């Protein structure tokens, strides 16, 4: 006989079962672990408005804000109506982005913000933003969407320019 003894086969099967159970347990435990990491780092809070504390406007300095718009495989047009703006820290500001679904079918997208320099994100407080929710568009629908924000006066003095960049991704939730 060329096979392994029956006892070795049972031991091997038991070990494989243990490995499968451990792998399942690890995969199951990753969900709350991942959620906790995102909660601690703030990575998943893109759909929540920031809190703006009562701040004084710092008229002694200005910060250049550059607005960027990108699409990830969406047949849309997307642009800020004002690509560059100078603001005083603490000043409530509104900018408007224009989005159009240029396709012949309804589509839903979600805008994901990013900041340059990265550390500016904690000082850029969005109070109203189209990025907080999914955006559904009918075929050829065009919409203007505001972003209301405040740059925290605690922004380090060496940060003179902040780039706010949005990338729209297609998501589930199309209107029929």
Give residue-wise pLDDT tens across range 47-77.
Answer: 555 566 556 888 999 999 999 999 999 999 9
Tell me whether the omega of the peptide bond preceding residue 27 falls within 30 degrees of 0, making it cis. no
Q: What is the largest CA-CA distance in the chain?
A: 90
Rounded Cα–Cα distance for residues 20 and 4 (Å): 22
Return the minimum-mean-pLDDT range out of 52-56, 103-107, 128-132. Answer: 52-56
Q: What is the pLDDT of residue 168?
A: 95
Domain 46-170 is of which CATH architecture? Sandwich (2.60)
3-class secondary structure, 71: strand
* 3-state DSSP assignment of residue 54: coil
Q: How far apart are CA 94 and CA 148, in angstroms?
A: 4
Task: Say what the pTM is.
Answer: 0.70
């Amino acid at each position: 006989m060329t096979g392994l003894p029956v006892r070795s086969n049972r031991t091997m099967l038991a070990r494989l079962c243990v490995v499968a159970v451990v792998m399942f347990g690890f995969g199951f435990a990753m969900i709350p672990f991942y959620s906790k990491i995102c909660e601690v780092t703030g990575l998943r809070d893109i759909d929540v408005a920031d809190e703006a504390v009562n701040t004084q406007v710092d008229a002694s300095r200005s910060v250049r804000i550059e607005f960027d718009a990108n699409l990830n495989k969406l047949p849309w047009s997307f642009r800020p109506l004002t690509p560059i703006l100078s603001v005083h820290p603490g000043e409530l500001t509104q900018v408007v982005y224009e989005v159009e679904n240029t396709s012949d079918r309804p589509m839903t997208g979600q805008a994901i913000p990013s900041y340059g320099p990265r550390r500016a994100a904690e000082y850029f407080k969005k109070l109203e933003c189209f990025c907080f929710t999914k955006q559904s568009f009918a075929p050829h629908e065009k919409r203007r969407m505001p972003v209301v924000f405040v740059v925290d006066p605690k922004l380090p003095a060496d940060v003179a320019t902040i780039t706010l960049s949005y990338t729209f991704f297609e998501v589930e939730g199309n209107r029929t």
